[in-house]
Structure 1
Amino acid sequence: MTYQDRASRTNAPSICAEDRIRELGIRLPTPPTPFGSYVEAVQTGSLLYLSGMLPVVDHQPAYVGTLGLELDTNSGQDAARIAALGALAAARNYLGTLDRIKRVVRLSVFMVASGNAVDQPAVANGASDLLRDVFGEENMAVRSVIGVASLPLGVPIELEIIFELNE
């Protein structure tokens, strides 16, 4: 990619995330609440950092288990999507509107997976694809997928997301 390509992408017109959510028929859940002594979101400068987002619905795990054992790739994708929906709900709750988000900067996907073959990139796409659909292909994040031994509440997925905000 040339400098001009990067510059034109940086200056791409802002999209309206709230309109995109309505067009896609996405219903955001109730914003998640902490399971411990922390806050869900912190803003510093033009960056919004979200705490680890879990696949929970009504403060209960939507999925429990290990990818490759109790859970397959499709279940992992759904768990990642549920966690990303919670992240969007947390961001909207903090900001008042998702339209304040300029782009997704970083997405870290932590997953509990067995040594058996699991398509970790496809599982992580459950979150990446939702964020792409809401914020646009030109605003996709850099991403890390990290295997871990366990996660809170026995869930298979945890997301950390950093958003850049409009000034």
Structure 2
Amino acid sequence: MVTLGTAPAGAEQRLSELGIVLPSPPTPLGAYVEAVRTGNLVFFSGMLPVVEREPQFVGRIGGELTLEDGRKAAATATLNGLSAAKALLGSLDCVAAIAKLGVYIATEGDFREHAKVADGASELLEAIFGTEKLSPRIVLGVASLPLGVPIELELVLEVDDGPPR
């Protein structure tokens, strides 16, 4: 764990230390919003591995795309989710926990390594937020996803704005 003195480093500092620059926040591809906060939870629309509205990966894992392509696509979708979170919240330092992670993977029918693909998202979240903020997750193989991408991420964050003022 990265630390400053005795307090754990915040997510923003970890991003910097990891050399990660968040992409521009994604924009909706239809009639919806990317993220909404209700109480201390932030719910996200399905995050895709797109940059500037262009898919970075197209195809199914175990077919046109490899397991490693799937891990990279999962990481790209995760960065889009974090970018949307930062746009909504102002800082990722207020993230108290990842409440839920769902990873939907377009695969060929005989593909069996779903968990390894999903680790592309989980390991990135762990590097940024720490093991103590990881969540349970669900990983599903599906026939197809929007734009032909191999990954769609479902993310729910718990936020803590600190003590009342």
Same fold flag (TM > 0.5): yes
**Amino acid in the other structure paired with 2:135:** A
Of the candidates 22, 31, 44, which is equivalent to residue 28 of structure 1? Answer: 22
Identity of counterpart residues, as a percentage? 50
- Contact 1:14 / 1:102 at 8 angstroms: preserved in 2? no
Specify the alignment match of 1:82 in structure 2.
76
Moved over 2 A (4+): none
Q: What do residues 79-124 of structure 1 show as CA deviations (whole Å, max 9, x unaligned)?
A: 0000000000000011111111111111000011112234110100
Per-residue deviation, 1:14: 6.3
Specify the alignment match of 1:6 in structure 2.
none
Of the candidates 93, 98, 104, which is equivalent to residue 87 of structure 2? Answer: 93
- Contact 2:35 / 2:45 at 8 angstroms: preserved in 1? yes
Of the candidates 31, 43, 46, which is equivalent to residue 40 of structure 2? Answer: 46
Query: What's the C-alpha RMSD, in Å, of the aligned pairs?
Result: 1.1
Runs (5+) with no aligned partner, structure 2: 1-6
Secondary structure at the residue paired with 1:102?
A: strand
Task: Count residues with an aligned counterpart.
Answer: 155
After TM superposition, list the pairs within 5 Å mapping 1:7-156 onto structure 2: 15-156=9-150
TM-score normalized by the length of structure 2: 0.91
Specify the alignment match of 2:154 in structure 1.
160
**Amino acid in the other structure paired with 1:130:** L
Distance in 2 (CA, whole Å) between partners of 1:95 and 1:117 is: 37
Per-residue deviation, 1:42: 0.6
Runs (5+) with no aligned partner, structure 1: 1-12
Distance in 1 (CA, whole Å) between partners of 2:54 and 2:23 is: 12
Distance in 2 (CA, whole Å) between partners of 1:117 and 1:90 is: 31
